Structure 1
């Protein structure tokens, strides 16, 4: 049965509940993973989403910051979360569908502005977080799993608007790219988006700072869909819903989709 997943950094699920409604109504993914919900779980407007058929939710939240949620038309079992790097943040949650597919929803720390852990604690936290992801994947060797989320790293040259200019900008520095690759390799994960769309510039985030984000098009692919090797051949139809970045009072991220025939 085809199962379509979407991942979206919503930048406040309560502020942008209407945009989530719009996405669910118009695109109707089976599962929507949200990051940066900025809400305690009890205050996520789940009733609004349930009215559209998304009766199931697994989430972790905190007031005003971070937060991850998995909304689903399909029954979900909460299978826990991990506090990578001991930050005490709501940045990971996992759920399992009845067909045995495990979905990991991640919100990796952004890392601040200075790519130097000696000068910037947040950058060190980001590197530590990704390193602990790597170690966990190496120990667990996940199977029949999908990893989605805002990983806050654009790994490939075509994942940023200007590779050379971005080499010293957090999200595309060589140390981050290498760290993410190590985490990916440790779990045997395959980048589904780039499997389906291997050639050309591809972005999922455009800064609020740009006067005209669409015209400037200085984007980065920070949002990812990965799969374990045992199911990656079942994946197809990856896309970024760029139009969502232009909706009224939008998130600075656009949703990323993939479908799995499982």
Structure 2
């Protein structure tokens, strides 16, 4: 069985429902994981997506903040929704697809502006979230699983537009990169995107502050698709739909795709 999965920080699923519809119509991923839905689950416009074949959905929502959802053409059964670091935020949802694959969808805290937990509570929350996530997967020992989402960290030097300039910028600091590496090691997760595209600059996010985001191209790869080793070799055709960042009233993130032959 072959299926395609996409992950996208949509930055308000109700405001950008037409963009979600466009992606469904043009790319038709079998599973679409959304972050920063900014909506209670019951107010997500599911009828629009059901008409395009996405008849299954699981999610966690909040009014105006956070929120994660998995829209699927395949049946999916919710298996977990964890509140790491006890933040009271809707940042995680997991479900098992009809093919036996478990999908974890995450929206990791951004961490504020200052990379110092002593003066920035949000940065400390981000590190604590990642630490608890590491421990969770270390205890769980996941198999036949995929982890996706806006992880809010660009770990590699070629995941940012300028490695040296961003070393002290939240999302690329050494301590964040190390914490993310520990999460990855805890489940032996394979970075599917970089497995497929091992070399070269690669971004999934461009700031709203840059009017000419495409020309300036000061991006970061904040959005990820990982898989456990037992299925990572089945992954292929990874790509980032960069042009979606230029659609009308866009998210500042672009969708990331991978296909799995299982």
| TM class, shorter-length | over 0.9
**Match in the other structure for 2:35:** 35
Structure 2 length normalisation: TM-score? 1.00
**Match in the other structure for 1:52:** 52
**Match in the other structure for 1:201:** 201
Secondary structure of 2:80's counterpart equals: coil
**Match in the other structure for 2:19:** 19
1:211 matches 2:211 = yes
Partners of 2:99 and 2:194 lie apart in 1 by 25
Report how far residue 167 of structure 1 moved.
0.1
Any unmatched runs of 5+ in structure 1?
none
Secondary structure of 1:28's counterpart equals: coil
**Match in the other structure for 2:135:** 135
CA deviation vs aligned residue, 1:186-233 (integer Å, no higher than 9, x gap): 111000000000000000000000020000000000000000000000
Partners of 2:251 and 2:128 lie apart in 1 by 27
**Match in the other structure for 2:69:** 69
Q: Which aligned pairs between 1:1-262 and structure 2 lie closer than 5 A? A: 1-262=1-262
Partners of 1:20 and 1:141 lie apart in 2 by 33
CA deviation vs aligned residue, 1:4-34 (integer Å, no higher than 9, x gap): 0000000000000000000000000000000
Partners of 1:99 and 1:214 lie apart in 2 by 38
Structure 1 length normalisation: TM-score? 1.00
CA deviation vs aligned residue, 1:117-158 (integer Å, no higher than 9, x gap): 000000000000001110001000100000000000000000
Partners of 1:103 and 1:217 lie apart in 2 by 31
Any unmatched runs of 5+ in structure 2?
none
Report how far residue 252 of structure 1 moved.
0.1
